[in-house]
Amino acid sequence: MVSAQLRNKANEFLNSRKHANNLADILQMFDAETDNYTPLLLTIEVIFTELLKRGDLVQEIIPLKPIEHSPESEYTRWLHECYEAALARCLECIRRGRTSSRLQALVTACKLLQAEGRHPLETANGYYFPSVRLKNIFNVLLDSEISMSAPIARFQEFTEYKDVQQYGLKVLATMGYKKTPSTIYMQNYLELMDKLLATEIPTEYKNKAKDREEEKEEKVLCAAEGRPSFVYHATICRRQANRCWGFACQWALCEEPRAHRRALLLLVERLMPLLSRPHLATDMLCDSLDAGGPISMLALQGVLELVRRHNIDYPDMYDRLYAMFEPEMFATRYKRRLIHLADIFLSSTHLPEGLVAAFAKRLSRLALVASPEDAISLLQLVANLLLRHPALKRMICYEDTPAIMSADPYVMEETSAVGARALGSSLWEVSALRRHVAPAVASAAARVLAAADQRAAPLALAPPDAAMFDAELKKRFKTIEMNFMRPQGLALPVAAERVAHYWQLTA
Amino acid sequence: MKKKSEANKKKLNPFEVHINREKLKVLGKKSKHDRGLPGVSRAKAIKKRKETLGVEMKVMNKTNAFIDRRIGEKNNQLSAEDRMIARFAAERAKQHSKKNIYNLADDEILTHRGQTLEQIEKFDDPRSDEEDDDFEKKFGGLDNDFVSEGHFGGGILSKTDAQDGAKSHKDLIEQLIAESKKRKAEKQKEKEQTLDLTEKLDSEWKDLQPVVFKKARVEEESVIDKVLSKAEKGQDYDKMMRELRFEKRGTPSDGLKSTEKQEAEERKKLEELEKQRQLRMLSEEEAAVPNRSQPTAKHRSADDLDDNFELDDERDFMLAYDKDGKPLVPEQVLKDFSVPNAKPKFDDGISDTSSEDDGEDESDEEASDDEAADAENKSIEKKKEQDIEIRDQQQDISSSDNDDDENQSSEEENTEEYKQSQAQILSEVNGISNKDVRSEETKEDEEEGSDDEAGSDDEQSVKGNEFDNLEDLKESKEESEVEDEHEEESKETIESFFDLKAEEGVKLKELLTGKSPSQQSAALQKLIKSYDPSQSANNKELLSRLFAHLLQYVNDLFHGLKDEGGALKSFLMYDKLLPHFYDLAHTNKVSAKRFICELLKEKHDKYTKSPRKVPDLDTLVFFKLISAIYPTSDFRHPVTTPSVLFMCEILTSCRFRDAYSISRGLFLVSLILEYTALSKRYAPAAVNFLRGLLYLSADTSVLNPVQVVPPFKLHGAEKVLRLERECTSLSAGDRMSSADLVADSLGERFKVNCLYNSVLMLREYFDNCCDMEAQGAIFEPHIKLMDRIDLDLYPKKVAKAVKEVARHMKATLEVKTYTPLARERKRPKALRLYEPDIQEVFTGSKSSKLSREKAEKARLESKYKKEMKGALREIRRDKAYIASVKIRQKIQSDIIRKDKVKQIYKDASIQQGELNKLKRMK
């Protein structure tokens, strides 16, 4: 109803100037509304996009000439004022109301930005991007009190445009400096930066021909026909990104775990290849590595990057990795990342056998307590270790005459992987997992033990298949086996009854 | 002949002997042809030819021939009598032709006084046999005294001397005549009496007949019989004879098995199923292992080119016999040969056969199901038969009424009787059904079922019966009227249960609410029985729908339980319902599986929406249901595997902080224990959960922590299960109860029981893993945690149990040995050697190397060649003989011709001489 009325009003306004007051009415209605601004936002979006397209907002300012006071120019000026007011309202709405309307406010702001970029208010030579508007939007998004993760996530659809990315980084770099920001601000900042870097910035050593091909597909937000096209400068982007990160580095990121995690994620996922002097991040990464838990897992990836690309030598790297494999890792979100990283770390064939054996042992110990899905990926990792390091085969098939031991020589509590004496041990855990309740785990364990026979290439770790339950349900069976003893009640007739031993349900 | 040959041998003419020179001497070889008598043998051959070919030539082109085939006619050594005997013997022998070797004296026509028995036997009056040859028949029926007196004239003299007025001879004769007449009359009368009696007996028998043979004959009567009976109406002898002849005999059936035998069979079947279950427990890899050593070394010939060429004479064998004439070959080989490829054999054994077995197993099960259903039906059928019989009798009677006018009076009596007996039977039937109703059991339904099946034709009578029943019921059973009402009510619902698809669920609820669990069970049983799949094709489908509704019912039953009473009641009902789930699932396996899978999926989807919250009982109880219906020990099973995964998922990702979640967690752990009890599988989720519970009840400081596995956290989580105060006096240490499932706060009792049961379950899990080397690694933290529990606070029983379990675990781990994993030692592969092909029976012939067909062919070919050679030779000789005979004949005829010509010349010359003489005389 409301939206229909509004649409009528907007149409009337756009059709004739007689209904000019409608615009004022609509802007007034922002005050009345508290929760859902979506229809209003849509209406002003429609109105001003149309106006911008028509060019009604363009004020002809001729330098050194007094301002005209013709009704025409008055109207234009009034429209301009309304436009500014509407933009201000719109930005306000990003902070308020329900989530959907906040998101809509952001989208409206961006759409208006786009319209303005296409139909600039002032004639300009070259490519025009309304950076001021973007700055306004960023100002709202980088709030110090309210977490803006939802609008920022929505903003990602605009950062795909190359011009938004470039100008956005530029704008962000200008406004990043802040002495002691609040944690919320930090998070918003990091998130926004993360989103701005979501599309990969091509690095220097990429093929130029390839670049050219990509340029054709580039999306530009404010492109308009008949005007010079946008030129994308990857170097500028990189420089700006470095500047942005430079500001962020000076903050106390490591105080608050969430911000810390986000910063690490940003660094590891997006920034590492862009940084001009990545070794400067070493300190931060090393500190994070010592922090333990998921933070160190994230830092690990950064360190791996440093070690691989930038020749940084890190002491006790493998012991740290070894220490990360604890039962707590199953509760974290980054367990798959950790397993993947461990696979990369341990793929070096120059590692001492004892170390890899300790890893294999520890991984299989963990698989003993893991959920079926985790157990499968751990077992896959163990299988890869066995395939890459043939010396480990003695852990699954002991060649000498098997001497019966009275205890497992492996020491789980030992922090150093080399000192865990794992080579003398066997992978009994894997053999125990052959009797896992989940048939998939059981067969995975059997495959690990069979790895000694073949010389297969190590497999890439399987993608997360969280829905083992669904997979089992989908399996087809030739026959449906049934019990052959009729139960007389809750208790099973066979010796299998256990619930009744511990539960007195019917009396 | 012998003497002749001997004589021949004696005067062996050295000039006749021909010696064949031996070119190569072979030791031990017997030579038959080293010397020969060419003259003698030639003479023999010629003689033989003369007898055969010569005779044939003689009769060539002659149409008639006289052959004297009289036995011994040409043999003059036999006397005439010998000849006769020989001919008689030949005649007798001829009679024993092959077609009646078992019918020894059939063709011989026995005669009696020239008449054949057939001529004598006329079956005219079979009763007149014995009476005639009474005692003392020899004198025409005269008395002893009369004979002694009247015969031989002896009596007359003595009697005339008698004082009592001697009778004249004439008197005597008259007396004699009178006496004999009187006796004849008496005999006649007696005879008539017996005749009457026999007839009466016969007629009574006829009446009794239908009662004695209680088989419905209406259906059996063939068309031919009907036609015949129409044609020969009134000829009751023939009719009866035919009836007797075509009397339905009892059909052979499996003998009733004794109870022990049945039990034994049952046991055997269960054992078989158990074996299969254990096979299914193994994974594919494990199952494949024992088969690996199967293939035996195959014989390889020295000529083997290693080109994988398979000689197909694998199955060849030498057929030889021992001295008793029995083949020396094992039985099964012979069998194999007689029925080639009777049974396909799988070399890779278990995987294939298991699938086959599965099929069989299923069919077996189905068969057994069918059997069970049959057994149920039998009783139904019996009653039906009775009904039919009664009607048959009625029909019989009425028809005979119409047919037999002359017997009407007697028949009428009979019908009266029948009506009575019928009424009796009917009342009996009613009685049975009354009893049924009284016992509230299934038989009534069976009757209903039978009624349904019997359909419209006997609807009326049955309806009458039913009304009777109901009336009887009301009269007889006022005391249990309430139940009765239930009965009727439920019967109505049962009858219209599946009428409306949309209302089934509602109706089920209607049927089951407001009843005690056992009543519910009875009602359900009735419902299931009345829709037995053997009675109608779509009953199976209906029952599968019922299964779904029951699932829904159970779901509703356990939904949102808040108080202890409700939980208890729900479990009691569930307890009674479970067997029906089993039955229904067995009637339609596929749809039951589908329903349960869908249910699981739905529950899982619901759970994934809030994966931190433990699902309520309306999810958990279905795991129990699944374990009751499906085998939990299978390596992979369409239903149990997903459900166990679901349970593990709950235990690994939910949060356990309050009574609600912990009690449900414990319930799940016990369920998982049940699932893994047979297969002894390892379920980390359950073991970790127990570890978490122990952690929650133990004292651990930050300084020396014992690690726990998520969802339990080392830091932050409150130790909710720790006892705050001493509870030694608490009488806890019992099983968990259904009240614990609805408890809202963690009471002391709850905590104590929790620890007690989790420790006991831990022990079972521990024992399940006894043969694993990793047992220590798995259970080490549990032991540590148990040591940290402050047992002084707990009741003695619980403390003792915990200590005992800890001690047991420690002791087991103490003696645990660790054998390094080693691959199964493979036997070193032997060099391929050529083995001698040892044959069991050596014949020395080269042909034994060949295949059977080839050897046979070679043998036949060589034989053919030999025979051909011989035959050609014979033919050549024959030709020579024939030529010699012909030339001889020719010479002879030439001689004769010459003689004749000479004669003619002679005659002519004589004639000429005479003519010349005459001429000269002129």
Residues A429-461: pLDDT tens digits?
888 888 888 888 888 888 888 876 666 667 766
Q: Which whole-number Å values give the CA distances from A349 to A171, A340, A426, in the listed order?
A: 47, 17, 21
pLDDT < 70 positions in chain B: 1-10, 96-114, 121-167, 212-235, 247-257, 284-503, 505, 701-704, 714-717, 732-733, 824-825, 839-840, 842-849
Q: Is B716 exposed, middle or buried (0-12, 13-18, 19+ CB in 10 A)?
A: exposed
Query: In this structure, which long-range contacts are made by residues A67-75, counting pairs with CB atoms below 8 Å and at least 24 apart in sequence?
Result: A75/A17, A75/A20
Q: Which whole-number Å values give the CA distances from B853 to B234, B299, B848, B850, B857, in the listed order?
A: 70, 21, 11, 8, 6
Give me the helices (H) in B309-349, please. Answer: 331-338
Judge contact between A241 and A274, C-beta under 8 A: yes
**Residue A235 predicted with pLDDT over 60:** yes
Residues contacting residue A342 through CB under 8 Å, at least 6 positions apart: A321, A325, A359, A363, A381
Q: Which residues of B touch A480 (CB under 8 A)?
A: 589-590, 593, 638-639
Q: Which residue in chain A is spatially nearest to B592 when comparing CA positions? A: A480
What pLDDT, on a 0 to 100 scale, did the predictor assign at position B450?
Answer: 40
What pLDDT, on a 0 to 100 scale, did the predictor assign at position B343?
Answer: 41
Q: Which residues of B touch A371 (CB under 8 A)?
A: 648-649, 652-653, 684-685
What pLDDT, on a 0 to 100 scale, did the predictor assign at position B125?
Answer: 52
How far is it, in rounded angstroms, from Cα B105 to Cα B101?
Answer: 10
Secondary-structure breakdown of chain A: helix, strand, coil percentages, each rounded to the nearest 5: 60, 0, 35
Q: Which residues of B touch A375 (CB under 8 A)?
A: 684
Q: Which residue in chain A is spatially nearest to B636 when comparing CA positions? A: A439
What pLDDT, on a 0 to 100 scale, did the predictor assign at position B848?
Answer: 59
Judge contact between B401 and B413, C-beta under 8 A: no
Residue B335 identity = K
Identify the residue among B547, B645, B752 best suited for mutation to test binding to A, counting A beta carbons within 10 A and taking the highest.
B645
Q: Which residues of A touch B593 (CB under 8 A)?
A: 480
Q: Which residue in chain A is spatially nearest to B621 when comparing CA positions? A: A490
Closest Cβ opposite residue A446 in set B270, B283, B653: B283
Least confident of A103-117, A211-225, B417-431: B417-431
Residues B829-884: pLDDT tens digits?
888 888 777 766 766 666 556 778 888 898 899 999 999 999 999 999 999 999 99
Task: Tell me, yes or no, if A495 comes closer than 8 A to chain B by beta carbon.
Answer: yes
**Residue A48 predicted with pLDDT over 90:** no
Residue B701 identity = S
What pLDDT, on a 0 to 100 scale, did the predictor assign at position B287?
Answer: 61
Judge contact between A451 and A396, C-beta under 8 A: yes
Closest Cβ opposite residue A443 in set B283, B576, B675: B283
Do B822 and A397 count as a contact with CB atoms less than 8 A apart?
yes
Smallest Cα distance from A289 to chain B, Å: 20
Q: Are strands B18-19 and B35-36 parallel, antiparallel or unpaired?
A: antiparallel
Backbone angles phi, psi at B477, to 5 degrees: -125, 70
Q: Which residue in chain B is spatially nearest to A426 when comparing CA positions? A: B820
Q: Which residues of B touch A407 (CB under 8 A)?
A: 776, 818
What pLDDT, on a 0 to 100 scale, did the predictor assign at position B489?
Answer: 56
Q: Which residue in chain B is spatially nearest to A400 when comparing CA positions? A: B822
What pLDDT, on a 0 to 100 scale, did the predictor assign at position A76?
Answer: 80
Do B773 and A426 count as a contact with CB atoms less than 8 A apart?
yes
pTM, two decimal places: 0.58
Backbone angles phi, psi at B112, to 5 degrees: -135, 115
Do B636 and A484 count as a contact with CB atoms less than 8 A apart?
no
Tokens matching residue A60: 């002809």
Backbone angles phi, psi at B881, to 5 degrees: -60, -45
Do B821 and A449 count as a contact with CB atoms less than 8 A apart?
yes
Smallest Cα distance from B634 to chain A, Å: 9
Do B682 and A403 count as a contact with CB atoms less than 8 A apart?
no
* Averaged pLDDT, A225-251: 74
What pLDDT, on a 0 to 100 scale, did the predictor assign at position A396?
Answer: 80
Do A331 and B713 count as a contact with CB atoms less than 8 A apart?
yes
Question: For the residues of B384-448, what is the DSSP string, one character each?
Answer: HHHHHHHHHHHHHHHHHHHH-STTHHHHHHHHHHHHHHHHHHHHHHHHHHHHHHHHT-THHHHHH
Task: Tell me, yes or no, if A474 comes closer than 8 A to chain B by beta carbon.
Answer: no
Closest Cβ opposite residue A483 in set B280, B630, B648: B630
What count of CB pairs under 8 Å joins A to B? 262
Do B710 and A398 count as a contact with CB atoms less than 8 A apart?
no
Q: Which residue in chain A is spatially nearest to B571 when comparing CA positions? A: A506
Q: Which residues between 370 and 409 in chain A have a beta carbon less than 8 angstroms from any beta carbon of chain B?
A: 370-372, 375, 395-399, 402-408
Q: Are strands B111-112 and B115-116 parallel, antiparallel or unpaired?
A: antiparallel
Q: Is A71 exposed, middle or buried (0-12, 13-18, 19+ CB in 10 A)?
A: exposed
Average pLDDT in chain A = 77
Smallest Cα distance from B779 to chain A, Å: 11
Q: Which residues between 317 and 346 in chain A have a beta carbon less than 8 angstroms from any beta carbon of chain B?
A: 326-328, 330-331
Do A326 and B707 count as a contact with CB atoms less than 8 A apart?
yes
Do B604 and A372 count as a contact with CB atoms less than 8 A apart?
no
Closest Cβ opposite residue A505 in set B630, B652, B738: B738
| CA-based radius of gyration for chain B | 53
Q: Which residues of B touch A365 (CB under 8 A)?
A: 777
User: With pLDDT > 70 as the criterion, what percentage of chain A qualifies?
Assistant: 83
What DSSP designation does B50 have? Answer: I
Closest Cβ opposite residue A469 in set B590, B604, B682: B604
Q: Which residues of B touch A484 (CB under 8 A)?
A: 270, 273, 365
Smallest Cα distance from A461 to chain B, Å: 22
Smallest Cα distance from A434 to chain B, Å: 9
Q: Are strands B736-737 and A503-504 parallel, antiparallel or unpaired?
A: parallel
How far is it, in rounded angstroms, from Cα A389 to Cα A353?
Answer: 7
Q: Which residue in chain A is spatially nearest to B737 when comparing CA positions? A: A504
Question: Distance of alpha carbon A488 from its chain centroid, rounded?
Answer: 55
Q: Which residue in chain A is spatially nearest to B270 when comparing CA positions? A: A484
Do A481 and B635 count as a contact with CB atoms less than 8 A apart?
no
**Paired residues of B402 in beta bridges:** none
Smallest Cα distance from A365 to chain B, Å: 7
Do A469 and B645 count as a contact with CB atoms less than 8 A apart?
yes
How far is it, in rounded angstroms, from Cα B285 to Cα B289?
Answer: 7
Task: Tell me, yes or no, if A64 comes closer than 8 A to chain B by beta carbon.
Answer: no
Do A375 and B671 count as a contact with CB atoms less than 8 A apart?
no
User: With pLDDT > 70 as the criterion, what percentage of chain B qualifies?
Assistant: 61
**Paired residues of B36 in beta bridges:** B18
Least confident of A45-49, A177-181, B183-187, B866-870: A177-181
> In the block, which residue shows the tokens 């039919």?
B388
Do B674 and A478 count as a contact with CB atoms less than 8 A apart?
no
Q: Which residue in chain A is spatially nearest to B632 when comparing CA positions? A: A483
Do A483 and B628 count as a contact with CB atoms less than 8 A apart?
yes
Task: Of B362, B285, B272, B286, give the one whose Cα is nearest residue B593.
Answer: B362
Q: Which residues between 93 and 122 in chain A have a beta carbon less than 8 angstroms from any beta carbon of chain B?
A: none
